[in-house]
């Protein structure tokens, strides 16, 4: 078996009396699309926050490409190739879609202390940005629109484009389908399928159709603890998972 891209070992995070992450261990292998599922409040977003360095865990280790990154800041992790999308989109609302992506390209290039040239006319930023927008399938007509005027689905696409523009060696996707209509969901699923194999991904998602059609492996999180991990087939038939999660989901 190849060395894992990402390895989480015995991660613990408590908020007051609430244990949001409870001895969580997880591995993402090269090229793998690993889905993280679980009921609301299971601690999926908190886990992503810790992997990205936005939240400091109380215990445990995080290894990326074999290097321990547990104490690194979020920007340092991004520079090492981790990139995430947000469930509630975190975009620069006053800027256009293209500007948002171009800024991520610029961040990757690292040349931020340039005070003179007009960044909006810099082909070294614009071209990779357009490529990323193209890749996620945002129609060209929408590129020059301020983010505040984009639809929810378009914003979700843009989130992914921004994450891609940082040149990731791994993607953390926090509910990319949340709030999308059926056709939008399908389109997003196709975009992710296109990326699959090239970039390893950790996918947090409630849309079970998408998860089961995309994932190589699935881990199930309940109360911050991983109760099961395995192929979609195994997870589908895991009695514990059915009891804790799927049945509840069907009952709704």
Partner 1 sequence: MRNLLRDERSWVVLVLALAAFIPVLAPMLDSPATVGLATRIAIYAIAASSLNLLLGQGGLVSFGHAAYFGLGGYVVGILYAHYISEEPFLGFIPGSNDLLVTMPLAILVGGIGAAIIGALSLRTAGVQFIMITLAFAQMLFFLFVSLKTYGGDDGLAIRRVAPMLGMNLRDPATLYWLCLGLLAFWLFLMDRIARSRFGRILAGVRQGERRMAAIGVRTYPYKLVAFVIAGMGAAMAGALMVNYARFVSPDMMHWTKSGELMVMVILGGLGTLLGPVLGAAALVGLEYTLAGLTEHWQFILGPILVVIVLFARGGLMGAVRRIAGRRLPHEAQPLPPGELPLGELPSGELPREPARHG
Tell me which residues touch partner 1 (CB under 8 A). 15, 49, 52, 54-56, 73-79, 83-84, 86, 90-96, 99, 102-104, 106-108, 111-120, 122, 125, 144, 146, 148, 162-163, 165-166
Closest contact distance (angstroms) between CB of 182 and partner 1 is 28
Cβ pair 91, 155 in contact under 8 A? yes
Class of residue 182 by CB neighbours under 10 A (exposed 0-12, middle 13-18, buried 19+): exposed
If the CB atoms of residues 145 and 186 are measured against partner 1, the closer one turns out to be 145
If the CB atoms of residues 17 and 112 are measured against partner 1, the closer one turns out to be 112
Closest contact distance (angstroms) between CB of 110 and partner 1 is 9
Closest contact distance (angstroms) between CB of 208 and partner 1 is 27
Q: ∠ at Cα 189 (187, 191), nearest 5°?
A: 70
Closest contact distance (angstroms) between CB of 149 and partner 1 is 9
Report the SS3 class of residue 56.
Answer: coil
Cα(87)–Cα(8) distance, integer angstroms: 21
If the CB atoms of residues 104 and 191 are measured against partner 1, the closer one turns out to be 104
If the CB atoms of residues 27 and 99 are measured against partner 1, the closer one turns out to be 99
Closest contact distance (angstroms) between CB of 100 and partner 1 is 8
Which tokens sit at 68? 């321990």
If the CB atoms of residues 78 and 192 are measured against partner 1, the closer one turns out to be 78
Closest contact distance (angstroms) between CB of 95 and partner 1 is 7
Main-chain phi, psi angles of 67, to 5 degrees: -100, 140
If the CB atoms of residues 5 and 52 are measured against partner 1, the closer one turns out to be 52
**Within 13 Å, how many C-alpha atoms sit on residue 185's CB side?**
16
Map tokens 């293209």 to a residue: 98
- CA dihedral (145, 151, 157, 163) positive or negative: positive
Report the SS3 class of residue 15.
Answer: strand
């Amino acid at each position: 078996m190849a060395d894992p891209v990402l390895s989480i070992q015995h991660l613990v995070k408590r908020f007051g009396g609430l244990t949001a992450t409870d001895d969580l261990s997880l591995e993402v292998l090269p090229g793998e699309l690993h889905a993280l599922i679980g009921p609301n409040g299971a601690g999926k977003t908190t886990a992503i926050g810790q992997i990205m360095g936005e939240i400091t865990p109380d215990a445990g280790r995080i290894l990326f490409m074999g290097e321990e990154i547990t104490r690194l800041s979020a920007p340092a992790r991004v520079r090492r190739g981790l990139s995430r999308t947000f469930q509630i989109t975190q975009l620069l609302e006053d800027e256009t879609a293209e500007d948002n992506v171009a800024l991520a390209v610029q961040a990757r290039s690292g040349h931020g202390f340039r005070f003179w040239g007009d960044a909006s006319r810099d082909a070294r930023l614009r071209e990779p940005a357009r490529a990323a927008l193209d890749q996620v399938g945002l129609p060209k007509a929408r590129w020059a629109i301020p983010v505040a005027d984009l639809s929810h689905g378009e914003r979700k696409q843009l989130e992914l484009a921004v994450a891609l523009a940082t040149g990731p060696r791994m993607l953390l996707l926090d509910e990319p389908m949340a709030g999308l209509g059926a056709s939008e969901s399908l389109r997003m699923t196709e975009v992710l399928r296109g990326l699959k194999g090239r970039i390893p991904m950790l996918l947090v998602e409630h849309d079970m159709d998408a998860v089961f059609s995309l994932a190589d492996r699935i881990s199930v999180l309940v109360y911050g603890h991983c109760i099961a991990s395995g192929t979609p087939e195994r997870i589908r038939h895991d009695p514990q998972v059915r009891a804790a999660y799927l049945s509840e989901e069907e009952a709704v």
